[in-house]
Amino acid sequence: MKRQLIKVTLSCVVIAGTLTATSCKKSSSSKNVSRATGWKVNAKEGGFQYNSDFKEQETAPGLVFIEGGTFTKGKVQDDVMHEWNNTPTQQHVQSFYMDETEVTNVMYLEYLDYLKSVYPPEDPKYANIYKGALPDTLVWRNRLGFNETMTNNYLRHPAYAEYPVVGVNWVQAVQFAEWRTDRVNEALLEREGYLASDAKYAPVNGEVAGTFSTEAYLNRPETTYGGQIDSLQGKKQKDSVAVYANRNSGIIMPEYRLPTETEWEYAALALIGKREYNSYRGRKKYPWDGEYTRNGQRVGRGDQLANFKQGDGDYGGIAGWSDDGADITAQVKSYKPNDHGLYDMAGNVAEWVADVYRPIVDDEISDFNYYRGNVYMKAAIGEDGKAEVLSENIVYDTLPNGKLVAVNLPGEVKMVPVDENETYLRTNFSDSDNRSYRDGDPGSSRFYDKFDDEDEEGNDKLSMYNAPKHKVERDEDGNLVRQYDTSNSRTSLINDEVRVYKGGSWKDRAYWLDPAQRRYLPQYMATDYIGFRCAMSRVGSKSTGKNKTARGKKAR
């Protein structure tokens, strides 16, 4: 009887093993068979082609992964300025990536060098492309200060190579991020064999009359490099037929961009490891632990943890003593990173973020990836039914200060605002420009019945954000005519062109080092204390690894 039981048991093991092997075999090949139709995926004969081997998004150059979560956005300490513009709200942020350091002078010089090579400023049609990207080095000047050394040297001298770039306005920062997106994707396509080796240098060396644009490549790949992409095809080309990557390939990176205010504040606080039973306590004053700006550990005790103004006439401390090591900006990575591995999230330079400034954060309408500044655009479609790619037409925008910046460069896809084809009978958005949604639009204004800019007699009417309206025009000879708004009836500096900047700088007192602090400046203005860093959205999973259990708890 005992032997019989053993025999039966062994039989069961054999059967179970057979089933397991069969199951494993089926599982290993299932990724190449559609669960919808049963057809083969990536079959040589044709049909649906898809990157079924994709694992997860790789970390792009210069970035650090930030796992998203919930946190208390806004001031959680005393508001001594009584500005009431950062009332605490509970927000949730998706995972994203952020630059390890602020964008440095040498990084920005690489951008300028590329523009100068591909769009030579000596060519009249390109003259304003390079000029419009140049930082304003005159921001260092002060009526009662001698700072000409920085005016002449700060951007270009190798001594300042790894210092954060300044003198860059918000518009220029956005355009740098767009350029960076194209260069990184261009290098990735070359690495994966979609472009020939060293193809990315062809525009720089003048070998092709065009450049690479990510959106143009995805929408109209045959137009890339001025229509000469066939001569720059890589090893992926089959039987003289061009092979192009697309979104399905999993190679194209999401765009580099400015972080939202919510992302920046979340990343600066670095609440990782500060959880108690999966609930953030929300009372962290600085990007580092503790309530003080000096290091309390035995190693380095008393050293400043950031570069900021310590008092009247005190930008670094007493020479040779435990000062912060810098009188103006400091070389990046001069201070310890926060728990996310991000450097200088307090001090050194304040940083532009993507948001349009408003005094109130409307968490009633959104507490997920909060952002004010959405202007929804789409690719312009030509008569041939395809996306329009600009050839030699360069569109410039004249900023209120008279500075010209290129809006569209040759080889880029022409973008236009979305229309009723995208908005009709929708509940989540109704127009393209949502910068003033629920704050400053007629429906939310106390003067909603008088919201027009001018009445029949040409007098200004009252509105919630009655900001100055400076105008810059060109006369018949092409000279700039600047018209300053001298009206005495203006009541605010807030409009849809003012952007938030976060974090304290070398020029600020410690009060502004709190990540919750927020200030704003017109997007066309630049200073000697505002820089920027880039961010990138995370696609796919929230985390790069398994979630850990709460401290002291065991997984059940």
pLDDT in tens, 446-500: 555 554 555 555 555 556 778 888 888 877 877 888 888 888 878 888 989 999 9
Average pLDDT of the segment spanning 514-536: 96
Tell the residue number behind the tokens 């006439």, with chain if given: 313
Count the helix, strand and coil residues of the chain and give each as a percent rounded to the nearest 5. Answer: 25, 15, 60
Highest-pLDDT range among 271-275, 285-289, 532-536: 532-536
Percent of the chain with pLDDT over 70: 85
Query: Per-residue pLDDT for 278 more than 60?
Result: no
Query: Per-residue pLDDT for 10 more than 50?
Result: no
The pLDDT score that the predictor gives to residue 455 is 54
Task: Please give the Cα distance from 394 to 100 (Å, whole number).
Answer: 34
Tell the residue number behind the tokens 């591995």, with chain if given: 341
Convert 508-527 to b/e letters by CB count within 10 Å (16 or more is b): bebebbbbbbbbbbbbbbbb
> Which range, of 26-30, 55-59, 89-93, 364-368, averages the lowest pLDDT?
26-30
253 within 8 A of 60, measured Cβ to Cβ: yes
The pLDDT score that the predictor gives to residue 154 is 97
Query: Per-residue pLDDT for 67 more than 90?
Result: yes
Query: Per-residue pLDDT for 220 more than 90?
Result: yes
The pLDDT score that the predictor gives to residue 5 is 45
- Mean predicted lDDT score pLDDT of the chain: 85
* Model confidence, pTM: 0.89
Q: What is the pLDDT of residues 402-432, one digit of tens each?
A: 888 888 888 899 999 999 999 999 999 999 9
The pLDDT score that the predictor gives to residue 469 is 86
Percent of the chain with pLDDT over 90: 54
- Whole-Å CA distances, 516 to 124, 281, 356, 362: 46, 15, 16, 16
> Which range, of 170-179, 336-345, 430-439, 487-496, averages the lowest pLDDT?
487-496
The pLDDT score that the predictor gives to residue 64 is 97
Helix (H, G, I), strand (E, B) or coil at 129: helix
The pLDDT score that the predictor gives to residue 460 is 55
More confident position, 193 or 440: 193
Q: Which residues pair with 142 in a beta bridge?
A: 145
The pLDDT score that the predictor gives to residue 106 is 98
Q: How many CA atoms lie within 13 A of 269 on its CB side?
A: 31
- Whole-Å CA distances, 241 to 101, 194, 315: 42, 12, 62
The pLDDT score that the predictor gives to residue 177 is 98
User: Please, what is the angle between helix 170-191 and helix 105-118, to 10°?
Assistant: 80
Task: Please give the Cα distance from 386 to 301 (Å, whole number).
Answer: 63
The pLDDT score that the predictor gives to residue 15 is 43
Average pLDDT of the segment spanning 533-549: 83
| Residues 6+ positions from 138 with CB-CB distance below 8 Å | 151, 167
Average pLDDT of the segment spanning 203-213: 91
Domains of the chain by range and CATH? 54-103+180-192+249-368+503-546 (3.90.1580.10)
More confident position, 117 or 286: 117
The pLDDT score that the predictor gives to residue 401 is 84
Average pLDDT of the segment spanning 364-388: 93
The pLDDT score that the predictor gives to residue 553 is 47
The pLDDT score that the predictor gives to residue 480 is 80
508 alpha-carbon distance from chain centroid? 24
Task: Please give the Cα distance from 316 to 304 (Å, whole number).
Answer: 9
